[in-house]
Amino acid sequence: MVDYVIQDWQGQTAGNITVDLRAAKEESAAAIVHRALIRQLANARQGNHSSKTRSEVRGGGRKPWKQKGTGRARAGSIRSPLWRGGGVIFGPKPRDYSIKMNRKERRLALRTALVSRSADLVVVQEFADQISRPKTKDVVEALTRWGVEPGVKVLLITAERDQNVELSVRNLPNVKLITATNLNVFDLLNADRIVSTSAALEKIQEVYGG
């Protein structure tokens, strides 16, 4: 159970929120989060890499020269892997990199990753109504008021999608915007600071609590 101070758009204290998420035991926390991270990265791979073997390379059906009498090494095809333009030995072929992980384990890893970043989490009020039109400068100034250092990687979590917010942050290379339903281990661990709205935290608590 962790208590957070909620900041408003101006950076002033606007209340408190308590988040109670059951994390993994200390001795197994790193292992389960690592497994979830490896699974996410592996499942993101397309696996469509492909190279041609000697049977798939075009040409090479005719024996380049007779077996004996030329003084050269015997050769049966110009598409041998030993030749330039030949096939590839043990080259990559399309494959599925996906890794399975139980749903309970995935949720436990996600809760554990979020709890481990509690010291870097900033909770703010819903601010979509404060941005009447897309303006990146307003978001940058708000992050500064919330105590987020300039230049650090920021994960911004909102409860719902808002077009003005999305357009305001999309030009910031160090800010990634996701909704509470798209929470994932990689983004939680990759960010230097995490900024979440109170409504997003409540939704996370509702979906992943316990």
What pLDDT does residue 208 have? 84
Q: pLDDT digits over 97-125, tens only?
A: 999 999 999 999 999 999 999 999 999 99
Q: State the pLDDT at residue 210.
A: 58
Check whether 13 has a pLDDT greater than 90.
no
Q: For residue range 34-80, what is the model confidence (pLDDT) as tens digits?
A: 999 999 999 999 999 999 999 999 999 999 999 999 999 999 999 99
pLDDT number for residue 178: 95
Structure tokens at 96: 């599925």
Counting Cβ atoms within 10 Å, is residue 47 exposed (0-12), middle (13-18) or buried (19+)?
A: middle
pTM for this prediction: 0.82
**φ/ψ of residue 78, rounded to 5:** -80, 0
- In this structure, the strands spanning 13-19 and 2-7 are antiparallel
Q: With contact defined as beta carbons under 8 Å apart, do 75 and 65 qualify?
A: yes
* Coil/strand/helix, residue 14: strand
Q: What is the pLDDT of residue 22?
A: 87
**Tens digit of each residue's pLDDT (9 = 90 or more) over 172-190:** 999 999 999 999 999 999 9
Q: Encoding tokens for residue 84?
A: 């330039």
Chain mean position to CA 72 = 55
pLDDT digits 0-9 by tens, 130-162 = 898 999 999 999 999 999 998 899 999 999 999
- Confidence bin at 209 (pLDDT 50/70/90): confident
How many distinct helices (H) and strands (E) make up the chain? 6, 6
Q: What is the CATH number of domain 2-26+100-208?
A: 3.40.1370.10
